[in-house]
């Protein structure tokens, strides 16, 4: 029989009576039973402590140390690692939901720590996952919140890869994904050592690029800097839009977590946060994409006429050209430059002025050219990024208003927003950036918004977030995009975290945070393949991405920090093959989405300016705050915003019985701080 589980927390216990009635009793029951599990207890169960083990009138509670698997070994050495046990190989945040999918019939699981001690056993639940045609078992070990290294054992099956529970679990993945952006830099040499291997290339594309298609003259115009777009070495404004937009949103929402992270880049010793330094390398290039005639028109892309081979970028020497302008690219440019002006102003006011001045010129160009102008890309076989401009113009108007406060931009946005019958798209990318404009409008603290329109958009956002939660809940791997697959769908899985986290900011709900984390769980190993989809990170990551640097250098390992596109047309169609550009390419828009998702998970609760426990914000922590917290737990009232953060005293992005117990101990003087 295994070692009894040590219970250390004082919590309030929910007892369920007949007719599904429930009530809260405050008792000294030292258990880690989750609220959901307590809610599901059979009628008439009572909870009491016997020798440190939670017992009930019906036996040991599932999720505590159970005798059901007492005959099974709890030593990891007695188990072989089995690929059917699929979980986030990077790890989990302490307060987050933690689940694994087992692609087999399994009834019991055991969680052991790095010492080989069993800390939790439990029963799985079974579900059918139709897109992979599997009957899977789900192991839920969310109740374990102690930092450490763990292994999941499944009697009769095997064991998982080891993983960590740590509040900083996503710091290194965030840094590695940002390293990927640095390694995409164009017009300069780059070099890094990752896992003992050197990845580098010399300065490339130093003659960007020729102006034949914008003024009929074969002259070179400065188009240096920026990021290579994907597995190729070209640069596209429209795809930069969703990428830069996502990354600026991450900055605006999570800057307190991001700004102190060192990314080890050439600019690291200046006065600007490294994260913004990397974004500035892209916005410097974007500024060169405006026509030199002062018209505000923006070239759609800067590329070779045809895709090059699998060589390092300095060996791609074909001429590169600025293509004709398009209204979508011009609108995206205005939006990005307006966001850049806000982000850079505290660090470089002159550059911020330059960005907003460029944005105003391009926005004026849009007003002077109200039709959808598509660029003439005949003669080019590189990426089209073909799209209409209605969504791009909407985004531009929102960002211009947010940056300048000029109500003419607000009027443009509100008029444009009424055009969209569907205010929020659950599934969005570079071809439909209207969500970005809607997000800015919702998050803006400026006055003058139309209350009816604001509420309509907010309700659409909450509905979209709830839909994503429901989709993930029904999926065997908790994939937020469910059974939808297409080129680059992994990027959308990551990007949906924007909807969830912005919804959580406006209307806090633990489901939004946990589903956002489910996206990362899926991408880092809780998937059909039991593999990470990000190069250089997690379990058995991609080794042969469709990436010209990885295919053109002498390293066996691919360049690190890149999210690959993922399986399509079906869940089981991913190929880790360099030739599979359909499923295994990399792209800045997918990485930008991943960076947002990781940034959102660096710290799920910022309480630096709050007095923990002071729920009513009267500068005191007292019985009134205790009553408010209890009402929230009972569902009699709902806490949100700073009140919710102040109530979340254990920083797990939930307000539950553990918080209530901790607050009670503080008020009774049993602990001296929260």
CB distance 125 to 137 below 8 Å = yes
Closest C-alpha among 425, 548, 445, 568 to residue 498: 425
Q: Which of 278, 576, 625, 652 is catalytic?
A: 576
Q: What are phi and psi of 50, to 5 degrees?
A: -130, 110
CB-side neighbour CA atoms (13 Å) of 243: 27
- C-alpha 576/C-alpha 664 separation (Å) is 53
CB distance 518 to 494 below 8 Å = no
Q: Which uninterrupted H or E stretch holds 391?
A: helix 390-404
- C-alpha 116/C-alpha 106 separation (Å) is 21
Q: Which of 399, 585, 603, 656 is catalytic?
A: 585
Q: Which of 300, 475, 546, 651 is catalytic?
A: 546
Q: Which residue has the tokens 């979980």?
A: 87
- C-alpha 315/C-alpha 559 separation (Å) is 17
Q: Which of 97, 108, 232, 553 is catalytic?
A: 232
Q: Which uninterrupted H or E stretch holds 125?
A: strand 125-129
CB distance 109 to 153 below 8 Å = yes
Strand order in the sheet with 99-102: 85-86, 99-102, 134-140, 125-129
CB distance 15 to 46 below 8 Å = yes
Supply 574's token pair: 């991913």
Q: Which residue has the tokens 């011009």?
A: 330
Closest C-alpha among 473, 494, 569, 476 to residue 132: 476
Supply 343's token pair: 């982000």
CB distance 115 to 103 below 8 Å = no
Concerning whether 546 is annotated as a catalytic residue, the answer is yes
Concerning whether 36 is annotated as a catalytic residue, the answer is no
Q: What 8-state DSSP symbol labels residue 72?
A: S
CB distance 292 to 221 below 8 Å = yes
Concerning whether 656 is annotated as a catalytic residue, the answer is no
In sequence order, what are the residues at sequence separation of 6 or more whose Cβ sits closer than 8 angstroms to the Cβ of residue 553? 199, 201, 312
User: Which SS3 state, helix, strand or coil, does residue 474 take?
Assistant: helix
- C-alpha 591/C-alpha 228 separation (Å) is 12
Closest C-alpha among 536, 523, 528, 540 to residue 590: 523
Question: Vertex 332, ends 257 and 487: CA angle to 5°?
Answer: 80
Ramachandran class of 379: left when φ > 0, alpha when ψ lies in -120 to 50, beta otherwise:
left
Concerning whether 218 is annotated as a catalytic residue, the answer is no
Q: What 8-state DSSP symbol labels residue 79?
A: S
CB distance 289 to 223 below 8 Å = yes
Catalytic residues: 232, 546, 576, 585
């Amino acid at each position: 029989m295994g070692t009894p589980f040590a219970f250390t927390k004082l919590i309030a216990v929910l007892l369920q009576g007949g007719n599904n009635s429930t009530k809260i009793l405050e008792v000294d029951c030292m258990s880690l039973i989750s609220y959901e599990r307590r809610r599901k207890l059979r009628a008439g169960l009572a909870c009491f402590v016997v020798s440190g083990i939670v017992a009930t009138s019906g036996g040991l509670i599932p999720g505590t140390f159970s005798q059901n698997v007492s005959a099974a070994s709890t030593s990891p050495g007695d188990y072989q690692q089995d690929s059917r046990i699929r979980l986030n190989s990077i790890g989990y945040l302490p307060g987050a939901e933690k689940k694994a999918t087992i692609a087999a019939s399994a009834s019991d699981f055991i969680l052991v720590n790095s010492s080989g001690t069993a800390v939790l056993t439990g029963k799985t639940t079974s579900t059918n996952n139709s897109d992979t045609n599997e009957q899977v078992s789900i192991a839920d070990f969310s109740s374990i919140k102690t930092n450490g290294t763990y292994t999941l054992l499944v009697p009769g099956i095997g064991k998982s890869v080891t993983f960590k529970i740590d509040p900083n679990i996503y710091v290194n993945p965030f840094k590695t994904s940002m390293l990927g952006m640095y390694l995409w830099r164009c017009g300069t040499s780059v070099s890094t050592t990752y896992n003992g291997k050197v990845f580098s290339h010399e300065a490339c594309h130093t003659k960007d690029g020729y102006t034949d298609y914008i003024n009929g003259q074969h002259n070179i115009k400065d188009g240096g800097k920026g990021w290579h777009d994907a597995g190729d070495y070209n640069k596209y404004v429209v795809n930069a839009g969703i990428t830069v937009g996502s990354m600026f949103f991450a900055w605006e929402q999570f800057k307190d977590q991001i700004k102190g992270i060192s990314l080890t880049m050439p600019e690291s010793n200046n006065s600007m946060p490294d994260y913004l330094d990397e974004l500035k390398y892209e916005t410097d290039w974007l500024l060169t994409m405006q026509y030199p005639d002062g018209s505000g028109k923006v070239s759609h892309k800067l590329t070779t006429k045809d895709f090059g081979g699998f060589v390092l970028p300095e060996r791609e020497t074909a001429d590169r050209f600025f293509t004709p302008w398009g209204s979508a690219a011009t609108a995206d440019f205005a939006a990005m430059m307006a966001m850049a002006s806000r982000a850079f102003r505290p660090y470089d006011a002159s550059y911020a002025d330059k960005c907003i001045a460029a944005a105003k010129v391009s926005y004026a160009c849009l007003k002077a050219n109200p039709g959808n102008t598509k660029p003439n890309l005949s003669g080019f076989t590189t990426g089209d990024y073909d799209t209409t401009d209605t969504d791009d113009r909407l985004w531009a108007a929102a960002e211009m208003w947010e940056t300048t406060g000029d109500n003419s931009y607000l009027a443009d946005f509100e008029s444009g927003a009424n055009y969209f019958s569907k205010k929020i798209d659950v599934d969005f990318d570079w071809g439909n950036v209207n969500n970005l404009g809607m997000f800015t409008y919702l998050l803006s603290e400026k006055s003058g918004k139309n209350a009816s329109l604001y509420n309509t958009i907010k309700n659409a956002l909450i509905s979209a977030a709830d839909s994503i939660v429901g989709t993930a809940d029904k999926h065997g791997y908790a994939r937020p995009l469910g059974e939808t697959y297409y080129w680059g769908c992994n990027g959308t899985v990551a990007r949906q975290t924007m909807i969830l986290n912005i919804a959580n900011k406006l209307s806090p709900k633990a489901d939004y945070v946990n589903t956002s984390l489910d996206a990362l769980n899926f991408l880092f190993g809780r998937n059909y393949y039991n593999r990470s989809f990000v190069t250089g990170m997690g379990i058995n990551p991609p080794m042969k991405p469709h990436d010209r640097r990885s295919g053109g250098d002498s390293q066996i390992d691919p360049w690190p920090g890149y999210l690959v596109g993922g399986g399509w047309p079906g869940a089981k169609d991913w190929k880790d093959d360099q030739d599979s550009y359909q499923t295994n390419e990399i792209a800045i828009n997918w990485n930008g989405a991943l960076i947002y998702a990781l940034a959102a998970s660096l710290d799920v609760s910022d309480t630096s300016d709050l007095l923990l426990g002071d729920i009513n914000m009267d500068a005191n922590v007292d019985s009134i705050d205790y009553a408010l917290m209890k009402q929230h737990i009972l569902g009699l009232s709902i806490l949100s915003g700073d009140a919710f953060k102040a109530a979340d005293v254990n920083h797990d992005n939930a307000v539950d019985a553990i918080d209530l117990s901790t607050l009670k101990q503080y008020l009774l003087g049993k602990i001296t701080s929260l």
